[in-house]
Amino acid sequence: MAAALLGTVGTVPDSITITDNRTGDTLEVPIVNGGVSSADWRKLLPDVFFYDPGFMATAACESSITELDGDAGILRYRGYPIEQLAEQSTYLEVAYLVIHGELPDKQQYDTWVHDITYHTFIHENMRKRFMEGFHYDAHPMGMLVSAVAALSTFYLDAKKLADPDQRMQEIIRLIAKMPTLAACCHRFSSGMPFVYPDNNKAFTENFMNMMFSPDAKYAFDHPALHRAIDVLFILHADHEQNCSTTAMRVVGSSHADPYTAASAACAALYGPRHGGANEQVIRMLTEIGSIDNVPAFVDAVKGGKSGRLQGFGHRVYKNYDPRATIIKKVADEVFEITGKNPLLDIALKLEEVALKDEYFTSRKLYPNVDFYSGLIYQAMGFPIDMFPVLFAIPRMSGWLAHWQELLEQDSRIARPRQLYIGAGARDYVPLDTRS
Ligand code: ACO
């Protein structure tokens, strides 16, 4: 994105012209891919920074992984519509797609699945010594954040970031070990013995088995439920520059190893404004308790008395979240097997009331991916505090695709500027002379 010379206004059709009113200097900056380069801006205004809390209007990178048009409700991975992938693909194929940029051929797919399958085990010390150090009621997402970081101490070669083969090795390890770590966190926090990975089972089936075996209460061995989880994993695989992916990129830009960077991404996902929202949705629906209480609850949200409507709203989607549409369909299929989640009726009523209410429509607040996903997980028998962990398992492939892209782009270390608003220079006063 090269800027036109100072003073040559109006020569580039897709451009903006910046004028510094203090000096009268102008600069024409081309608009490329919907953005303008800050490098051009700095030529004219080196000491003027954008004040942009929450990155409302800042593109921190160029990316070719996920395309999202929030107004049109479009989500595509590497150009493929999410609807087609959810219908026809598998999570592991989608993971290959986001990482490699293309769908695999048969041989590539078989090799990829084989490699992932044979890296599902975690070191015995992780399970026996590290995991058992947690308090008995530790939140599984807190355990996962720490466990992902701890993996970096087992794979010292992961620091060889310049070696593409080494990078791919760590990518395979991380994608493969997420279900094992996730199930391990659950088994520990519920006091149950660890179930080792079974390399004869497919990715999702293996995860369900590690979670629930041999508890017959759960329909963990039902193929339709494995498929439902696989579809949810596809929907959660990537979502461009969200909070956790940004954390991955920021920490990755310091050239920390991928385990450490992925742990930061997990930590960002833990928050209730991001991946923790699916957990909060169930708590909110439980608190509402009955359909009759929905209007009063919505009024309380509008009046600022009940916090936010969890699972509603999105920074980018100002129309229906396309993932929510697919999830609603999956929910129907799952409930046919598990029986309907009793909270579903409250959720449907809440959606109906909110979508008719001017407060929500004027702010373009629609159900997001988290509004219905928790209902499905709960009906399948997943404990509520495992919900953010379930989000983290597939999002690992997206985080790693961005990490890989970042390293291949020779990015600079992430280091935003600030607008200082604190005290001016003043002299230190010794403690005994301070009033
Ligand atoms: N319930 C009630 N009001 C809301 C909600 C909500 N869920 N979300 C936004 N608003 C209101 C805000 O109060 C604000 O109103 P105002 O203009 O009168 O002050 C307006 O809508 C804009 O809200 P912002 O906070 O500016 O929107 P932002 O883009 O920063 O936040 C977010 C997006 C964090 C997702 C927000 O909508 C939210 O907190 N939602 C609930 C939590 C949630 O579901 N998170 C999951 C997101 S999806 C994901 O991460 C996978």
- Separation between Cα atoms, residue 260 and residue 242, nearest integer Å: 18
Give me the sign of the Cα torsion angle 305, 307, 309, 312. positive
pLDDT of residue 216: 52
**pLDDT tens, position by position, 223-266:** 899 999 999 999 999 999 999 999 999 999 999 999 999 999 99
Return the domain boundaries, the chain.
67-269
Range ranked top by mean pLDDT from 125-129, 360-364, 399-403: 399-403
The pLDDT, as a whole number, for residue 219 is 57
- Closest listed residue to residue 15, CA positions, set 31, 36, 38, 35: 31
By CB neighbour count within 10 A (0-12 exposed, 13-18 middle, 19+ buried), where does 353 fall? middle
Ligand 1 contact via 28 beta carbon (within 6 Å): no
Locate 11 and state its tokens.
């020569």
Tell me, what's the pLDDT at 395?
98
Predicted local confidence at residue 318, as pLDDT? 83
What H or E segment, with its residue span, contains residue 145? helix 140-151
pTM, two decimal places: 0.91
Residue 3: per-residue pLDDT: 41
Ligand 1 pocket: which of 71, 246, 308, 387 to mutate (most atoms within 8 A of CB): 308
Ligand 1 lined by 309 (C-beta under 6 Å): yes
Which helix (DSSP H) or strand (DSSP E) does residue 15 occupy? strand 15-19
What is the Cα–Cα distance from 175 to 270, expressed in whole angstroms?
18
Query: Per-residue pLDDT tens for 22-56?
Result: 999 999 999 999 999 998 888 899 999 999 999 99
Measured between alpha carbons, how far is 344 from 331 in angstroms, rounded to an integer? Answer: 9
Q: Annotated catalytic sites, by residue?
A: 274, 314, 370
Q: What is the number of other CB atoms lying within 10 angstroms of the CB of residue 227?
A: 16
From residue 399, alpha-carbon distances to 208, 225, 359, 362 in Å are 23, 26, 34, 33
With a cut of 50, say whether residue 372 has pLDDT above it.
Answer: yes
Token pair 């097997």: residue: 337
**Ligand 1: which residue has its CA nearest to atom 35?**
314
- Predicted confidence (pLDDT) at residue 314 exceeds the cutoff of 60: yes
Q: Which atom of ligand 1 is nearest to the CA of 314?
A: 35
Q: Is 374 in the pocket of ligand 1 (CB under 6 A)?
A: no
- Per-residue confidence band for 368, with pLDDT thresholds at 50, 70 and 90: confident
Share of residues in the chain with pLDDT > 90 (%)? 77
Distance 261 CA to ligand 1 centre (A): 26
Q: Which residues contact 327 (CB under 8 A, 6 or more apart)?
A: 232, 235, 369, 371, 372, 373, 376
Residue with CA nearest ligand 1 atom 14 = 363
By CB atoms closer than 10 A (0-12, 13-18, 19+), residue 59 is: middle
Instruction: Identify the pLDDT of residue 127.
Output: 87
Is the shortest distance between the CB of 310 and ligand 1 below 6 Å?
Answer: yes
Q: Whose CA is nearest to atom 18 of ligand 1?
A: 363
pLDDT of residue 217: 58
Q: Check the CA dihedral 170-175-180-185 and report its sign.
A: positive
Give the dihedral of Cα atoms 343, 349, 351, 355; nearest 10 deg.
-170
3-state secondary structure of 431: helix
| Residue 342 φ/ψ, nearest 5 degrees | -60, -20
Topology given in CATH for the domain delimited by 67-269: Citrate Synthase; domain 1 (1.10.580)
Cα separation of 422 and 33, whole Å? 37
Higher pLDDT, 12 or 329: 329
368-403 b/e with 16+ CB inside 10 Å = b? bbbbbbbbbbbbbbbebbbbbbbbbbbbbbbbbbbb
- pLDDT score, position 321: 85
**How far apart are the C-alpha atoms of 322 and 432, rounded to whole Å?**
63
In this predicted structure, what is the pLDDT of residue 189? 87
Closest alpha carbon to 187 in 382, 378, 377, 374: 382
* Nearest to 261, CA basis, from 139, 411, 51, 111: 411
Question: 74-130: per-residue pLDDT in tens?
Answer: 999 999 999 999 999 999 999 999 999 999 999 999 999 999 999 999 999 998 899
Ligand 1 and 315: CB distance under 6 A: yes
Instruction: Determine whether the shortest distance from the Cβ of 276 to ligand 1 is under 6 A.
Output: no
Mean pLDDT of 322-338: 90
How many whole angstroms separate alpha carbon 86 and alpha carbon 328? 13
Contact 108, 132 (CB under 8 A): no
> CA angle 71-74-78, nearest 5°?
135
pLDDT given at position 64:
97
The per-residue pLDDT of the chain, averaged, comes to 92
pLDDT of 2 reads: 39
Q: Where are the alpha helices (DSSP H) in 271-338?
A: 277-288, 294-302, 322-338
Q: Which of 282, 302, 314 to mutate to test the pocket of ligand 1 (most atoms within 8 A of CB)?
A: 314
Instruction: Supply the pLDDT for residue 190.
Output: 86
Q: Does pLDDT of 198 surpass 80?
A: yes
- Identify the pLDDT of residue 214: 83
Atom of ligand 1 nearest to the CA of 301: 2
The mean pLDDT of 149-168, rounded to a whole number, is 96
